[in-house]
Amino acid sequence: MEQIKYTEFGWTKWWWLVRHRENFKLGKNTEIAPLVVIGCEHGVEIEDNVKIGYGAVIISDSTVDGKKGRVVLKKNCKIGANSVIMPNTVVGENSVVGALSFVNKNIPPNEVWYGRPAKFMKKVKPA
Ligand SMILES: CC(C)(COP(=O)(O)OP(=O)(O)OC[C@H]1O[C@@H](n2cnc3c(N)ncnc32)[C@H](O)[C@@H]1OP(=O)(O)O)[C@@H](O)C(=O)NCCC(=O)NCCS
Global pTM value: 0.96
User: What domains can you pick out in the chain, each with its CATH number?
Assistant: 17-121 (2.160.10.10)
Q: What does the pLDDT look like over 10-59, one tens digit per residue? A: 999 999 999 999 999 999 999 999 999 999 999 999 999 999 999 999 99
Our answer on whether the CB atom of 112 is closer than 6 Å to any ligand 1 atom is yes
Contact criterion met (CB below 8 Å) for 58 and 41:
no
Instruction: Using the mean position of ligand 1's atoms as its centre, give its distance from the Cα of residue 66 in Å.
Output: 30
* pLDDT digit string, tens, across residues 99-123: 999 999 999 999 999 999 999 999 9
What is the SS3 assignment for 21?
helix
pLDDT of residue 85 exceeding 90? yes
Q: How far is the CA of 121 from the centre of ligand 1 (A)?
A: 10
Residue closest via CA to ligand 1's atom 43 equals 80
Any atom of ligand 1 within 6 Å of the Cβ of 80 = yes
Tell me the C-alpha distance between 105 and 30, whole Å. Answer: 23
φ and ψ at residue 22, rounded to 5 degrees: -65, -20
Atom of ligand 1 nearest to the CA of 97: 1
pLDDT confidence bin for 3, thresholds 50/70/90: confident
